[in-house]
Amino acid sequence: MEVLKSAGLITLFIVSWLHSQSQSQSIIDSLETQYNKGIYEPQQKLLLLKELAINHPNADRALYFSEQLIEAAQAVDSIEYLFQGYLEQGNAYRLKSDLTQAMESYFEGARIVDNAKYRHRLGAVYVAIADVYAIMGNYPNAMSYHQKAIQILREAKDSVNIASALLNAGDAFITLNQLDTALLYTREAEVIFQKINSQIGEAYSLGNLGMIYAKLGDNLQASENMNEAILLLEAQQEYYPIAVYLNYIADIYFAQGDEVTALKYANRSLELARRHGLKEQISVAYLKLAQIYERAGKLKESYTYYKDHIAYKDSVKDITAVQQMADLRTNFEVSKKQIEVDLANQQKRNQQIITIGTGIALLLIGLLSIGLYRRYSYIKSTNLIIEQERNRSEALLLNILPKETAQELKQLGKVKAKKFASVTVLFADFKGFTQYAENLTPEQLVETVDYYFSKFDEIIQQHGIEKIKTIGDAYMCAGGLPFPSTDHALRVLQAAKAIAEFVAATRKSAEVKHTFEVRIGIHTGPVVAGVVGTQKFAYDIWGDTVNIAARMESASEPGKINISESTYQLVKDTVPCTYRGEIEVKNKGTLKMYFVETT
């Protein structure tokens, strides 16, 4: 049942609304009138804007007041109010189904409070970030941020926000059909909401428990819970969850064969969602109406509603939004990593100063003790040793890092992470390596892998490609960095062909004792590159592009080169390829793939 699959996305992202119970419309109108008069002190202005941004039932007006709150908070340099402004701005965008803008606001809020003093606030915004990931279907990221939020909020003993985080995590488990876990989280949240006398929290808990009972087949209990939740939410003017629960109840009656009652609830949900501009729930209601009319034999009406469902669904979940969110998360986490790297590099520079000072002192003592007559020969021999060591260090550094990166490290003592808009990443590994390796001695295994990877190194060097790293039998390289280029996809494919041909040739050679078959996967997209570590430097790349390239390799076949749609678009005019269709990929849905023709 489609509604039961998607309606579990009740996003109780309005964490701050639970701190002060939702205001009646008359109070909101009064606050808005007072603000428009402009007669207040700066602190009063901030309080007014905060209340209006948090509690205004109209998403457009809530967005306006959150933007005003951000501007006012910046003027007085208030971290608390600035964070609140970005959180409520994200909430308003979320209500308008503008998920990319919502995520951008949330991450900006997270950056503002990412320190020990405001750690409890970080927990609240992590809940909101997790909800958006859940709506987009990215449950690994959603659950990761839910767990972070719950840990932070438990440490802060923040009952309201702990309950909200537990409820939202339980909501994600509902969608994943992990109902026992969902029940535990939701009941714990309900107990907390009852203790603090939060009617809106109790309403969400009742509604979510109703969804769990529906999935467990207890339709009577499910319907009672959700109808009770709707009554409480109507009093609080919370329309988004009401639309969700109405669709759920429609789905229950639809499953029982009562199309008339199901149609009543679905139409009620659609009318409510239209009135308040809730795109996501408009889409869900359209789908339920299409299903009801299809069963009733009214195919024309069913087709019309289904087209409307697709149009609204695409407006909420589009691939551009997914990529922009991936970029936002990458930028947020890379900026945190860069702070850690900068701190480590500063400590290293301090140690270098101490070491150099000690060395100079010892050198002076040695020179004085030996005497002036050996001064010239001593300095000469010392300089020779230093020069040799410098040359050796230079060679080692260039063997580990790209030349441009090594120069930056020597000159500045650190390497800043850089974003590349288009890079082609190649993964290769050997079929059945683990089982085959069990029959080789460690010496034979290392010798065999070294034989293949040394040739791979030679091939990618010939094609101007950067080796990133090897992990066991996996080999990773990339084209288009550290210097951007326009032909990196073609050069990587040419290198991949050479690698495949070399591996195939070894299987026919009597000189090679132990041979394998290779699988190759390639994807093109944006990455962030930089140096990780302070003791053993490693040049590495991060981003969703790396994950998809690895998926291309795991979906490939022995002796084949499997490429993604983005890579294919760059090489299709010069490299013949065979379309494989859309193939299911772990955590990515279905992706278009192509085999490169190697003969």
For 107, phi then psi, to 5°, come to: -65, -35
Q: How far is residue 233's CA from residue 239's CA, in Å, rounded to a whole number?
A: 7
What pLDDT shows up at residue 11? 41
Burial class, 371, CB count within 10 angstroms (exposed 0-12 / middle 13-18 / buried 19+): exposed
- Within 371-402, where are the H helices? 375-400
From start to end of 16-92, where are the E strands?
Answer: none
Q: What is the crossing angle of helices 319-370 and 99-112, to 10°?
A: 30
Q: How many CA atoms lie within 13 Å of 397's alpha carbon, on the beta-carbon side?
A: 16
Burial class, 21, CB count within 10 angstroms (exposed 0-12 / middle 13-18 / buried 19+): middle
What pLDDT shows up at residue 198? 86
How does DSSP assign 477-531, residue by residue? EEES-SS--SSHHHHHHHHHHHHHHHHHHHHH-SS-SS---EEEEEEEEEEEEEE
Distance from chain centroid for Cα 451: 38
Q: Is residue 530 within 8 Å of residue 418, measured between CB atoms?
A: yes
Q: What is the largest CA-CA distance in the chain?
A: 109
What pLDDT shows up at residue 333? 57
CATH number for the domain whose boundaries are 231-317? 1.25.40.10
pTM: 0.44
Q: How far is residue 363's CA from residue 354's CA, in Å, rounded to a whole number?
A: 14
Which helix or strand (DSSP H or E) is residue 212 part of?
Answer: helix 199-216
Q: What is the DSSP letter of 58?
A: S
Which pair of tokens denotes residue 321? 């939004």
Burial class, 471, CB count within 10 angstroms (exposed 0-12 / middle 13-18 / buried 19+): exposed
CB-based contacts of 179, cutoff 8 Å, min separation 6: 173, 212, 215, 216
Residue boundaries of the structural domains of the chain: 231-317, 348-400, 415-596
For residue 377, give the nearest of 367, 369, 387 by alpha carbon. 367
Omega within 30 of 0 (cis) for the link into 402: no
Which pair of tokens denotes residue 129? 């970030």
Which pair of tokens denotes residue 560? 């084949």
Across the 599 residues of the chain, what is the mean pLDDT of every consecutive 10-residue run?
36 38 66 81 85 87 92 90 93 86 90 82 86 81 85 83 85 84 90 88 89 87 88 84 86 86 89 84 86 87 82 56 53 53 57 69 66 61 58 52 59 72 94 78 83 92 91 90 90 95 86 84 93 72 92 93 95 93 88 89
What is the CB neighbour count within 10 angstroms for residue 399? 8
For residue 250, give the nearest of 228, 278, 222, 276 by alpha carbon. 222
Which helix or strand (DSSP H or E) is residue 219 part of?
Answer: helix 219-236
Q: What is the DSSP letter of 18?
A: G
Q: How far is residue 75's CA from residue 190's CA, in Å, rounded to a whole number?
A: 40
Instruction: Give one word for 340, left, alpha or beta, with left for phi > 0 and alpha for psi -120 to 50.
Output: alpha
Q: How far is residue 139's CA from residue 159's CA, in Å, rounded to a whole number?
A: 25
Q: How far is residue 298's CA from residue 292's CA, in Å, rounded to a whole number?
A: 9
Q: How far is residue 211's CA from residue 225's CA, in Å, rounded to a whole number?
A: 9
What pLDDT shows up at residue 534? 64
Q: How far is residue 52's CA from residue 65's CA, in Å, rounded to a whole number?
A: 6
What pLDDT shows up at residue 331? 55
Q: How far is residue 64's CA from residue 50's CA, in Å, rounded to a whole number?
A: 11
Which pair of tokens denotes residue 111? 């950056």
CATH T-level topology, domain 415-596: Alpha-Beta Plaits (3.30.70)
Q: What is the DSSP letter of 413?
A: S
